[in-house]
A and B are shown apart, each in its own frame.
Chain A
């Protein structure tokens, strides 16, 4: 395992930092403005891609930008885990931009420049979280995401939007100030540094002679403080955030923001505490049970929702806990399954949200009960929706199956039969809440008062991205090693 100090790692961050200014500069010409967004997405993805070969050879890129205090720096590192998140976020940003163009223009939304700027800054935050090599940098970018997604959630600027956005901010800012900040400071007091231990997952940064109750309290504060991961009972902000325009729900509340949360939890567990410390203090199993509880409960709540986006939101809450569960099981296979799911879930869930947005743009319907028969008029959209739903359920050969396979094998390896049953129950529940949507869309008669001949597919800038992401979901299911190789270099 070699570490290279290279300022190249800053490139994705610089591009995403410049992008908002470029968007602002071109605010008068909407075509140039959207091109700036798209080019920034492509450039970011390519710059992240450039890091891949060496990282797969076991290299870790690092770079320190500022030193705040000894042990507290703004510094970045690219290892396998970082690249999973960075690749997914930057790659999907391109699709989201294309989709954004269709969505925002069709609905004639207001304040589009502000919207694109905040979108770009949120991706900047996600990149920063992905590449952070210490807890301070992670916290910095985590908070940037919180602040700059607020205008996106409150985009409609009506009462409902403000209510949802306030809840969003109270949950995310409140938990990070109340729990994450003291957790970080306690870590600093105990360890004298906030730098992650990169290179292997086993060793952490906590000294062996640290008082037990401090370490345990710190760990609990971290899990509570990273509310973006939407572990129950701190999940409630996610359904409220669905007041945002659908592309925001798609990229941010299915990919960037929530994944920043679960990614941070993975980072803290794998590189902060290390599997050894987690095992010594018996922290893994309670976390795994909490995650399993979230998986089941959120799925049950999803069953009761008729609003498509609300159902998807609870499905997200449930699926995010797969990641946490995998990492908390502390066995190599389960960790692989959990971290892979960051990518696999991202591609499938963004397809689902894209489809929900496309349905809304084409038909202005949000309720599942009104969508009967739509599949015949929107075959591409609902076809992609179906594939992504299969991935959520965990049917081979779609992406979700691969990560679930690793998770179940890992849970078996850890001897946790209860967890295995929870995962199986979740499969059934997923089928129960996704199945009817697809069945209704293709095989049921339209709801009374709805003439499906009025409807057709949404604009192409929306349908093409969602078909591509659905196709990628299948590719990832057939070739799960695409993301597995990044986890393999983490070392155990």
Chain B
């Protein structure tokens, strides 16, 4: 079934076309203006997506065309509740990325914007592809502009950082490729919906799960595979960091939900304790390391490791609350961490340093800046009323429903988040100021307000009224859990006395859901 207007294809190919057009633009300012216009048109083009039907679990806006019939490879696109919000986030962030690079990028401006356009195309492609080969193509394409963003416009150690990023991710992708081929051999198709519908033997599932999980774990990144992330973040230009944190990392967790849970449900259940263990390790490790950082960007990079740990924890507790929390936390992390990277970029343009000690005590001179920094820091530490709180609370609810012990183990991560973010905020706002320089710095200009304010509004909107966002995903999440349900194994003896009780509770919760929806 093809929808009348190919929304998804337009979203993928419009930035591509625009990047070709950009080649012919001469002046630097014009390049920036054209890119900004392209970014806004991309948002307009995404408007038809708002016709997304809430409460439907199936793929919508499907586009299906034959591509290589011989191998049964199709051009197959579609959106469900899990990818819908990710696409909106990707499209929404593009104009802000252009704006925050306005004065940050001083050389090869045209090439920079072309790279960003290519990135956007590839990112949207990854989230909407419903054919494994198509998915893999977008997955790999995305690497190149990101590599260039770091390697060309990056900091002093850009060569090391970009290569490390490239090698890590590529290593993961090769395993993913092996898994894709294995699925084709066993299932006879590359179509993702068809593969999801098939049953595979446990042994096959286990091996493919491990191959895919490694690829995604590197992308997320989870604890032992995270070392590329701080290097890449610190060296990347602001817009690169924003894209990396907000969109690229989400591909890993998206992959976990779309492929691991859906295609290899038995293996997912079997390996869930391992993945939960690694997630908690990521939360605690990321938090502890972030606590010791003196470089603002590194601190936020390590906080990403901790935040993404919460996302993977939410995924592998394998219940509705946890998964809802995971998906909404993916969006939240994109907004909050993206905004924090933009803020670090903004202060770097003034002080030319990312060290905390060079930017201390600026509350007096840059009150608006500190206001936004405070808002996004509070969001990052999951202050109630902000977006991350909703995500973190849902993940924790899921974890506690899964097991009391796992829930309690994850809580110190929440404390660490408060510790490292407040430490950073305290030093920026209060520390011994570098007066002679800081006095001359100007507070936020119009352009900076323009990209921080919408993100700030979004932080509070999702924090106080997440119902709409949750409604888009719930049906799809329940469908994913449907694959798992039959395979649920109770291993924990301590859970026995609780499980029956919680099941009742769970039912009553669902009733309430239905009631509130009926209202």
| Chain A residues closer than 8 Å to B383, beta-carbon distance | 143, 147
Assuming A147-B383, A173-B418, A177-B414, is B400 touching A185 (CB within 8 A)? Answer: yes
B502 contacts which chain A residues (CB < 8 A)? 189
* Contact with A189, one of B390, B397, B414, B516 (Cβ below 8 angstroms): B397
**Cβ–Cβ contact A182 & B501, under 8 A:** no
**Does more than half of chain B's interface fall in helix, strand or loop, or is it mixed?**
helix
- Nearest chain B CB to A135 CB, angstrom units: 10
- How far, in whole Å, are A177 and B383 apart by their CA atoms in the complex? 10
Of B241-249, B347-355, B448-456, B461-469, the one contacting chain A is B461-469
Min distance, Cβ B150 to any Cβ of chain A, angstroms:
34
**Residue numbers in B under 8 Å from A214 (CB-CB):** 404, 498
Quote the shortest CB–CB distance from B307 to chain A (angstroms): 15
In the complex, B33 has a CB within 8 A of chain A = no
Among A69-77, A350-358, A410-418, the one that faces the other chain is A69-77
Residues from chain A with Cβ under 8 Å of B53 in the complex: none
Which residues in B have their C-beta under 8 angstroms from that of A178? Answer: 411-412, 414-415
Q: Cβ of A154 < 8 Å from any Cβ of B?
A: yes
Judge if A209 is at the interface, Cβ distance under 8 Å.
yes
Known A-B contacts A136-B384, A182-B400; the reply to A192 vs B411 at CB < 8 A is no
A181 near B470 with CB under 8 A, answer no
Q: Counting CB contacts under 8 A, is B7 at the interface?
A: no
Cβ of A2 within 8 Å of any chain B Cβ, yes or no, is no
B473 to chain A, nearest CB (A): 13
Contact B509 A185 (CB under 8 A): no
Taking the closest CB of chain B, its distance from the CB of A146, in whole angstroms, is 10
CB B224 to nearest CB in A, in angstroms, measures 26
Do B411 and A182 touch across chains, with their CB atoms under 8 A apart? yes
Contact at B501–A68, with CB atoms within 8 Å? no
Q: Would you call A420 an interface residue if the criterion is a C-beta within 8 Å of the partner chain's C-beta atoms?
A: no
With both chains docked as a complex, state the minimum distance between the C-beta of A73 and any C-beta of chain B, in angstroms: 10
In residues 203-228 of chain A, which contact B (Cβ within 8 Å)? 207, 209-211, 214, 217
Bound complex: CA A166 to CA B411 (Å): 21
Beta-carbon contact of A211 and B422 below 8 Å: no
- Near B by CB (< 8 A), chain A positions 134-184 give 136, 139-140, 143, 147, 154, 157, 162, 166, 169, 173-174, 177-178, 181-182
The reply to whether the CB of B408 lies closer than 8 angstroms to some CB of chain A is: yes
Q: Are A192 and B509 in contact (CB under 8 A)?
A: yes
Cβ–Cβ contact B467 & A211, under 8 A: no
**Nearest CB of chain A from residue B518's CB, rounded to whole Å:** 12
B174 touches A (CB below 8 Å) = no
**Given A182-B396, A185-B407, A186-B400, CB of A66 within 8 Å of CB of B465:** yes
**Alpha-carbon separation in the docked complex, A184 to B385 (Å):** 15
Asked whether A67 is an interface residue with its Cβ less than 8 Å from the other chain, the reply is yes
The reply to whether A140 and B384 form a contact with Cβ atoms under 8 Å apart is yes
* Nearest CB in chain A: distance from B298 CB, A: 22
Could you say which of A173, A185, A192, A217 contacts B422, with CB atoms under 8 Å apart?
A: A173
From A166, A177, A192, contact of B505 by CB (8 A) = A192
Q: Mark A412-455, 1 if CB is under 8 A from B, else 0.
A: 00000000000000000000000000000000000000000000
Across the interface, B466 reaches (CB within 8 A) one of A69, A188, A189, A190, namely A69
Contacts of A154 in B (CB 8 A): 430
Interface of A is mostly: helix
Known contacts A143-B384, A214-B498: A182-B470 contact under CB 8 Å = no
B314 to chain A, nearest CB (A): 13
Q: Which residues of B contact A169 (CB under 8 A)?
A: 422
Which residue of A has the minimal Cβ distance to B462?
Answer: A68
In the complex, which of the residues B378, B385, B414, B422 has the most CB atoms of chain A within 10 Å of its own CB atom?
B385
A68: chain B residues within 8 A (beta carbon): 390, 464-467
Task: For the complex, give the distance between the alpha carbons of A157 and B431 in Å.
Answer: 9
The answer to whether B401 has its CB under 8 Å from any CB of chain A is yes
In the complex, chain B residues 482-514 whose Cβ is within 8 Å of any chain A Cβ: 497-498, 501-502, 505, 508-509, 512-513
- Write the nearest CB–CB distance from A192 to chain B, whole angstroms: 5
Task: Please judge, given known A-B contacts A177-B418, A214-B404, whether A162 and B430 are in contact too, CB under 8 Å.
Answer: yes
B206 within 8 A of A: no
Q: Which single residue of chain A is at the shortest CB-CB distance from B374?
A: A147
Q: Mark B109-128, 1 if CB is under 8 A from A, else 0.
A: 00000000000000000000
Q: A69-B470, A181-B414, A182-B396 known; A189 and B401 CB under 8 Å?
A: yes
- Say yes or no for B394: interface residue by CB 8 A criterion: yes
Smallest beta-carbon distance A177→chain B, Å = 4
Q: Using a Cβ–Cβ cut-off of 8 Å, how many residues does chain B contribute to the interface with A?
A: 38
**Chain B 408-433: CB-based contact to A (< 8 A → 1; otherwise 0):** 10011011001100100010001000
List residues of chain A with CB within 8 A of the CB of B505: 189-192, 207
| Residues of chain B within 8 A of A162, CB atoms compared | 430
* Chain B residue at minimum C-beta to C-beta distance from A183: B411
With a cutoff of 8 Å between Cβ atoms, the chain A residues found around residue B497 in the complex are 211
B393 interface residue, CB < 8 Å from A? yes
- The interface residues of chain B lying within 8 Å CB-to-CB of A140 are 384-385
| Smallest beta-carbon distance B136→chain A, Å | 37
Given the complex of chains A and B, what is the CA–CA distance between A157 and B361 in angstroms?
11
Question: Nearest chain B CB to A64's CB is how many angstroms away?
Answer: 12
A174 proximity list for chain B (CB < 8 A): 415, 418-419
Measured in the bound complex, the distance between the Cα atoms of B415 and A136 in whole Å is 18
**B390 contacts across to A, CB distance below 8 A:** 68-69
A217: nearest residue on chain B (CB-CB)? B404
Max count, chain B CB within 10 A of own CB: residue among A69, A136, A209: A69
Q: Which B residues between 381 and 403 are near A, CB-CB below 8 angstroms?
A: 383-385, 390, 393-394, 396-397, 400-401
Q: What residues of chain A lie closer than 8 Å to B467, measured between beta carbons? A: 67-69
A-side contacts of B384, CB under 8 Å: 136, 139-140, 143
CA separation between A186 and B467, bound complex, in Å?
Answer: 21
As a 0/1 sequence over residues 325 to 356 of chain A, the CB contacts with chain B under 8 angstroms (1 = contact) are 00000000000000000000000000000000
**Closest B residue to A177 using CB positions:** B415
B415, A189: Cβ atoms closer than 8 Å: no
Q: Are A70 and B408 closer than 8 Å at their CB atoms?
A: no
Contact B501–A147 (Cβ < 8 Å): no
Q: A69-B394, A69-B466, A140-B384 are in contact. Are A192 and B512 (CB under 8 A)?
A: yes
Q: In the complex, which residues of chain B have a beta carbon less than 8 angstroms from the beta carbon of A66?
A: 464-465
Residue contact A189 to B400, C-beta cutoff 8 Å: yes
Which residue in A67, A70, A207 is a CB contact (below 8 Å) of B509?
A70
Nearest-Cβ distance from residue B265 to partner chain A, whole angstroms: 24
Q: B311 to nearest A CB, angstroms?
A: 17
Task: Kindly state the separation between the CA atoms of A190 and B508 in the bound complex, as whole angstroms.
Answer: 11
**B residues within 8 A CB of A181?**
393, 396, 411, 414
For A177, the chain B residues whose CB sits under 8 A away are 411, 414-415, 418
Bound: A188/B505 CA distance, A? 10
CA A147 to CA B425, docked complex, whole Å: 11
**Bound CA–CA A106/B414 (angstroms):** 43
Chain A nearest CB, measured from B435 CB (Å): 14
A-B contact pairs, 6 of them (CB 8 A): A72-B393, A143-B383, A177-B418, A181-B396, A189-B502, A192-B509
Among all A-B residue pairs, the 5 with the closest Cβ atoms: A140-B384, A177-B415, A66-B464, A70-B512, A189-B400
- In addition to A177-B418, A182-B411, A186-B407, 12 A-B residue pairs with Cβ atoms within 8 Å of each other are A67-B467, A68-B467, A72-B393, A136-B384, A140-B384, A140-B385, A169-B422, A178-B411, A182-B396, A189-B502, A192-B508, A211-B498
